[in-house]
């Protein structure tokens, strides 16, 4: 288990000492990792900046082959990586295995996209000249990842950055730094040159990130996290007009229409709500169920949720936040609702009905295993309540009528819609939101564009 910083291809201690990493299941310390300081940040940016010209000039096929070897290594070491994710993040081993497979796919997908970076040749409408375009890597990229998917959120950013020819400085979340450090070593073993990938760990990120965005060598910021922090980072990035992509908060509605297959809807709800114990920006946040089926749906959901064992949330702060939201909701608790006794930060699967729409459970992202159910009267009521939020990441919709579902999907303010599906994430699909849920897209054909700039040449012959 590596616990030092990874800078310029070398493992180095942090200049600000160390900080502990806790196991959410027990609350005990797993180990301590290096705390990066401003000198470490400068060294990492310098290493990335110096490595960038050679990496950008590396043949796209060669960059792709490196990423493909990283994919193979992740699959080969899946059990090891999954065990580490479970230890530092607290998700079940099955969830962790699924994350490793999902995370590795970003390396495979972008290994194939590296060779498809292209340009265009057009004739100007007036016929005076030709319009030639080509794409080039944006440069040194600062990647800030969250704790809930410590492998996948890193590979979803590193994959397209390296495929495009960029170099990176990755700062993982303080709760889950160990997976990022493991990935740094894995990428080095796969053939990533020194300085192309650098990892800084810290539990005091504010000054480091501010300093990084004030450094004119940093040309790209990719952040996954809260909308509140995203606003601050966008303001800081404006100083040097840093190119930004932001995957921010969610408040996902899960619509169950009167004609829905309720068994399928509950099955989808369990995926959309309980994946990663509800700690996902894509998690179903508000269940909007038609009044004619709300009773039966509630019974089926409570039964399904009751069969899920209690699991930890990430830390004590998250646990207290969940308790407060449920206690102040004013709803009727049908299942759970109280923290699980014992060590660690455990909170049980919880179902709440008769929830006021203006309560915290109706307005705010929950980020935990709590399912509030709201009754809606018709399609218009459902869409209006679904869109009554500043967020617009993902929506879920269950109906037996495909045409009806597609019509409503077009009206939902969301960058992604799960139509009769409880899972939308896919490395081949563009992941991202509308409104205050973010800017740009990750994954899909669109994902690599976030790390490229277009140059236009006017010429004639």
List residues with catalytic annotation: 247, 281
CA distances from 110 to 104, 137, 327 (A): 10, 14, 45
Which residues partner with 399 through β-bridges? none
**Dist CA 225 CA 229 (whole Å):** 7
CA distances from 390 to 238, 436, 437 (A): 22, 6, 8
- Quote the tokens at residue 204: 């005091």
**Dist CA 439 CA 429 (whole Å):** 16
A 10 A CB-CB count for 275 gives: 22
78-89 and 177-189 helices, crossing angle to 10°: 160
- Quote the tokens at residue 399: 């109906």
CA distances from 306 to 68, 257, 300 (A): 41, 24, 10
- Cβ density class 198-222: b for 16+ within 10 Å, e for less: bbbbbbebeebbebbbebebbbbbb
- Quote the tokens at residue 312: 């930890």
Alpha helices in 285-359 (DSSP H): 294-306, 316-327
Task: Check if the beta carbon of residue 396 is closer than 8 Å to that of residue 284.
Answer: yes
Task: Check if the beta carbon of residue 272 is closer than 8 Å to that of residue 254.
Answer: yes
């Amino acid at each position: 288990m590596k616990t030092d910083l990874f800078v310029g291809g070398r493992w180095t201690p942090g200049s600000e000492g160390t900080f502990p990493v806790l196991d959410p299941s027990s609350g005990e310390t797993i180990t301590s990792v290096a705390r990066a300081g401003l000198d470490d940040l400068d060294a990492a940016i310098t290493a990335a900046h110096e490595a960038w010209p050679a990496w950008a000039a590396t043949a796209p096929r060669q960059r792709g082959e490196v990423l493909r070897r990283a994919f193979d290594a992740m699959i080969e070491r899946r059990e090891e990586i999954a065990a580490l994710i479970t230890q530092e993040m607290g998700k079940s081993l099955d969830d962790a295995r699924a994350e490793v497979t999902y995370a590795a796919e970003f390396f495979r997908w972008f290994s194939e996209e590296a060779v498809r970076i292209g340009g265009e040749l057009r004739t100007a409408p007036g016929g005076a000249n030709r319009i030639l375009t080509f794409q080039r890597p944006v440069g040194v990229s600062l990647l800030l990842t969250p704790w809930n998917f410590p492998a996948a959120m890193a590979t979803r950013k590193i994959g397209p950055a390296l495929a495009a020819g960029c170099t990176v400085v990755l700062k993982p979340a303080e709760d889950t730094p160990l997976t990022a450090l493991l990935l740094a070593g894995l990428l080095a073993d796969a053939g990533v040159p020194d300085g192309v990938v650098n990892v800084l760990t810290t539990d005091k990120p504010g000054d480091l990130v501010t300093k990084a965005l004030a450094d004119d060598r940093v040309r790209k910021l990719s952040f996954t996290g809260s909308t509140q922090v995203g606003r601050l980072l966008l303001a800081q990035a404006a100083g040097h007009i840093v190119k930004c992509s932001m995957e921010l908060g969610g408040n996902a509605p899960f619509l169950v229409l009167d004609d829905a297959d309720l068994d399928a809807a509950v099955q989808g709800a369990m995926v959309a709500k309980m994946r990663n114990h509800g700690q996902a920006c894509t998690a179903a946040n508000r269940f909007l169920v038609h009044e004619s089926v709300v009773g039966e749906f509630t019974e089926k959901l409570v039964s399904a949720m009751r069969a899920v064992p209690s699991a930890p949330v990430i830390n004590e702060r998250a646990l207290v936040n969940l308790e407060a939201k449920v206690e102040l909701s004013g709803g009727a608790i049908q299942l759970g609702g109280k923290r699980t006794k014992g060590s660690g930060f455990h909170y049980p699967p919880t179902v709440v009905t008769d929830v006021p729409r203006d309560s915290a459970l109706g307005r705010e992202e929950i980020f935990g295993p709590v399912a509030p159910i709201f009754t809606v009267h018709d399609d218009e009521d459902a869409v209006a309540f679904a869109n009554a939020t500043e967020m617009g990441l993902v929506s879920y919709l269950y109906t037996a009528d495909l045409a009806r579902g597609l019509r409503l999907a077009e009206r939902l303010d969301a960058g992604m819609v799960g139509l009769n599906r409880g899972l939308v994430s896919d490395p081949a699909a563009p992941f991202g939101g509308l409104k205050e849920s973010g800017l740009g897209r990750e994954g899909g054909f669109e994902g690599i564009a976030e790390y490229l700039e277009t140059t236009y040449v006017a010429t004639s012959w």
